[in-house]
Structure 1
Amino acid sequence: MSQHPYKSLPDEAFWRRSVAAPAPADVDPVGEFELRITPDTRVATAGSCFAQHIARYLSRSGYNYYVTELGHPVLPEAVRKAHNYGLFSARYGNIYTARQLLQLWQRAFGLMSPTEDCWQEGEECFLDPFRPTTQPGGYVSRAELEADRSQHLAAVRRMFETLDVFVFTLGLTEAWRSIQDGAVFPLCPGTEGGTFDPARHEFYNQTVDDVIADMDQFITALLAVNPTAQVILTVSPVPLMATAEPGAHVLASTTYSKSVLRVAAETLRKRFAAVHYFPSYEIITGAFNRGAYYADDLRNVLESGVNHVMRLFMTHATGGVVAPVRQSGEDVIARQQRLSQELVDVECDEIALDPD
C-alpha cells in the first residue's frame, strides 16, 4: 500500500478516533499547550461572563487567582461580593470585545479619556458608563464615581504590570460606541443606565481584522511593560443574547461572532510566542457531547461542561500537578453543592438585552 502523510498522524488528528469513538468525558481537544502555571503563578482574568468560571475554579483549586482590587478590608466579604469585588481581577465587570479590552488598557495608562464619562440617573445616582452594573445603586455623586474610577484604573494598571498570566475570554464582536470619540460601552446605553441617543451612539460589529488589530495592539503594549507576561485566549461558548445586526437572525450572528473570534485567536497565537489558545469553546459546543453541556435555554453552560473545561485546563496548564484545595468547615457534600451553584451562577450583563 502507498504511503502518505496521514499514515503517521496521531489519533487526535482523526475525527473518528478522537471525537466520535471516545466517551464524551474523555474527549480532549487541547493539543499542544506549552504554558505551565504553578500555585504561585499570578493568574489574572478578564472577558465575558464565562471567564468567571476560570477565576472561581482557580481560586477554589488552590491556585493564585490574582486580584488587585480587593475592596476596603473593613468591608465584610458578603458586601464586597455584592459590589463585584473579586468577580474578575479588577472591578471592570464583563469585557465582551477586543476593543473594550484595548480601551481599558488605554484608560488605565492615561492614553484615553472618554467624553461620555458619567450617567446621572437621579439626584444621588451616578453610573460609570463603562461599568454600569458594578456599583449596585450607583454612586451618590460624580465626585465619588470619579474617585472610585481613579482607584479602579490604578488597580488595573498594577494588575497588567505585575501579573504572570492573563486569561482573556473573547465573547462578542457586537458593541455600541460613542459617535463623538469612538469609546465602546459594555452594554447598549439605555439598557442598564444612560439614555440611548442615535445622534450620539452607533452600532459597531467588529471584523476579523478589527479584532486582530485591537488584540495585537493590546498584547504588544502589555509585553512592553511586562515582558514575561503570558496570555491565554479562550472564546466564550455562550451564544449572543440578542443581535443588533440589521436583518440578521441571532443564530447566524452568533456563528459570525464566534467564528471571527476563533480565527482572531488562532492568528494571534501564531503571531506571538507569549499567546496560547485554550479550546473551551470547542469543548462546550463540540458535537461529541450532543448539546449536553447547555441548559434548557441552549445558552447557559451547565456545571458538567464547566467541569470538563476546567479539568482539562488544570491537567494541561499545571502538568498534572494539583494544588491543595482550600478546605472549610462545611460538610463535603454541602460544599460541593454550593460550589456547583457558584460555578453556574455567573454575572452576565448581556442578559439585560432581553429582560423578558
Structure 2
Amino acid sequence: MSKSPYQSLPAQAFWRSAVAEAGLFGLADLWKSPWILPADAVFVTYGSCFAQHISRALLSRKLNWLNAEPAPGGTSDGLARKYNYGIFSARTGNIYTAAQMLTWARLAAGLDQADSVELWTDAQGYVHDLLRPKIEPQGFADASAAHASVESTRRAFLRSVRDSDVFVFTLGLTEGWVNLETGRSYAICPGTSVGTFNPDIHAFRNYSYPEIMADLETAFDLLRGINPDLKILLTVSPVPLVASASGHHVLTATQYSKSVLRAVAGDLAQHAGHIDYFPSYEIIAAPSGRGTFFEPNMRSVAQQGVDFVMSHFFRGLNVSGPARPSGPDAATL
C-alpha cells in the first residue's frame, strides 16, 4: 500500500501545526519571493490606501523606493502630504479598482491623453479630475491647470514604470462607478465630496472576476511593454469597505470583494513568472488574527498590524543579488 500524499507534507501544510499550535506570532514561512532581486532593486508602490505602508517600510529599511513625482523644493513634509506628494510613487492618489489601474496604464502607454480625463467643477468654481478627485484639497483653479497636473502625473507614472524593478500594486475594491456615456471609471462616486451625481449617466459597477482579470492582464501587458523586465507584486488590502452600494450587508459585501480580488491575484501569480502575490490580507484578516490588528472601528489597521505585516514581507523578500554597476562605464555593460 502506498502512503497518503499528506503523510510527507511539511508542518506548514497543516492547520494544527502551522496555525493553531504556532499561534499568531509564531506564524512562519507565509511568503517567500520567487525572485532574487539586486541589492539596489527599485520599488514603486500604487493602489489602495494600504499600499502607502509598504513605501514607508521600504524607506525605513534603506531600500530604494522611487518617488517619481516629488513635491516642489522647499515644501515641508506636512504640506507635501496634504497635497498628496510622496504617498505613492506618483501623485495618482488611491487606485482602488482594476479599471482605474487600466486607465493609468493606458495613459502611461500613450493610448489615452491627459486632456481626455473628465473634470468636475464645484460650486466655488474649483476644478477636480475624475482620476484624483481629492488630490488638491481645494481643487484646481481651472481646467487647464487640472489637465496640466494630470499630465505631470502621467509622465511621473510612466517614469516610475520605466525605471523600477518591482511594481507593487495593492488591490482594494471590486465596487466602483462609471460614466455610461464614456465608459470611464471614477475614483469615487460623483456627488461624494466632489462632482454631481446624475442617475442617467452614473452607474454602479461591482466588477466580476473575469472583468478584473481582463483589466489587470491588459494593464500589466501595457506596463511590461514599457519595461519588459518589470516584476509585479500584488497584495490585497485588508481594510474593509467603508460602505457598499451593492445592496448587500457591508460585511458580506466586503468578504465578496476581498475574495474576488484574492482569487484574481492568486491566479495571476500562479500563471505568470513575473507576477507574485504577498499575503498582507491573510496576515491581518485570517482567523488566526482574531481581529488583533484592527482599531476599535474594526476597519483601520493599527500600526502594530502594519509592522507585523512588514516583518513577514521583509523576511520573504530576497535582495541578495549583486548591485548593478554604476558610473561612466555602466551604460556599456
**Does TM, normalized by the shorter one, top 0.5?**
yes
Aligned CA distance change for structure 1 residues 319 and 109 (closer, same or farther; 3 Å): closer
Instruction: State the Cα deviation string for residues 119-152 of structure 1 (Å, max 9, x = none).
Output: 1114541111210111111111222112111111
Question: What CA distance in whole angstroms lies between the structure 2 residues aligned with 1:57 and 1:295?
Answer: 20
SS across alignment from 2:178: strand
Number of aligned positions between the proteins = 320
Paired residues for 1:235-254 under 5 Å: 235-246=236-247, 248-254=248-254
Give, in angstroms, the shift of residue 36 of structure 1: 3.9
Aligned CA distance change for structure 1 residues 301 and 320 (closer, same or farther; 3 Å): farther
Q: Partner of 1:152 in structure 2?
A: 153
Q: Partner of 2:331 in structure 1?
A: none
Instruction: State the Cα deviation string for residues 19-54 of structure 1 (Å, max 9, x = none).
Output: 100131121352442124455211000111111111
Q: Which runs of 5+ in 1 are unaligned?
A: 322-356
Q: Is the 8 A contact 1:314 1:320 kept in 2?
A: no
SS across alignment from 1:176: strand
Q: Partner of 1:47 in structure 2?
A: 47
Q: Is the 8 A contact 1:29 1:283 kept in 2?
A: no
- Give the counterpart letter for 1:217 in structure 2: T
Q: Is the 8 A contact 2:106 2:222 kept in 1?
A: no
Paired residues for 1:48-127 under 5 Å: 48-113=48-113, 117-127=118-128
Paired residues for 1:303-318 under 5 Å: 303-318=303-318
- Give the counterpart letter for 2:70 in structure 1: L
Q: Partner of 1:186 in structure 2?
A: 187
Question: What CA distance in whole angstroms lies between the structure 1 residues aligned with 2:176 and 2:130?
Answer: 13
RMSD: 1.8
Give, in angstroms, the shift of residue 75 of structure 1: 2.9
Q: Is the 8 A contact 1:39 1:64 kept in 2?
A: no
Paired residues for 1:234-313 under 5 Å: 234-246=235-247, 248-313=248-313
Question: What CA distance in whole angstroms lies between the structure 1 residues aligned with 2:238 and 2:14?
Answer: 23
Q: Partner of 1:214 in structure 2?
A: 215
Q: Partner of 2:206 in structure 1?
A: 205
SS across alignment from 1:193: coil
Question: What CA distance in whole angstroms lies between the structure 1 residues aligned with 2:70 and 2:224?
Answer: 25
Aligned CA distance change for structure 1 residues 136 and 38 (closer, same or farther; 3 Å): farther
Q: Is the 8 A contact 1:38 1:63 kept in 2?
A: no
Question: What CA distance in whole angstroms lies between the structure 1 residues aligned with 2:134 and 2:69?
Answer: 16
Aligned CA distance change for structure 1 residues 320 and 251 (closer, same or farther; 3 Å): farther
- Could you state the TM-score of these two structures normalised by the residue count of structure 1? 0.86
Q: Is the 8 A contact 1:29 1:282 kept in 2?
A: no
Q: Is the 8 A contact 1:29 1:279 kept in 2?
A: no
SS across alignment from 2:65: coil
Q: Partner of 1:132 in structure 2?
A: 133
Question: What CA distance in whole angstroms lies between the structure 1 residues aligned with 2:243 and 2:124?
Answer: 32
Question: What CA distance in whole angstroms lies between the structure 1 residues aligned with 2:26 and 2:309?
Answer: 11
Give, in angstroms, the shift of residue 67 of structure 1: 1.1
Q: Is the 8 A contact 1:178 1:184 kept in 2?
A: yes
- Give the counterpart letter for 2:310 in structure 1: M
Q: What fraction of aligned residue pairs are identical, expressed as a percent? A: 38
SS across alignment from 1:89: coil
1:34 maps onto 2:27 in alignment: no
Question: What CA distance in whole angstroms lies between the structure 2 residues aligned with 1:57 and 1:176?
Answer: 32
Q: Which runs of 5+ in 2 are unaligned?
A: 322-333
1:196 maps onto 2:197 in alignment: yes
Question: What CA distance in whole angstroms lies between the structure 2 residues aligned with 1:108 and 1:203?
Answer: 26
SS across alignment from 2:33: coil
- Give the counterpart letter for 1:200 in structure 2: I
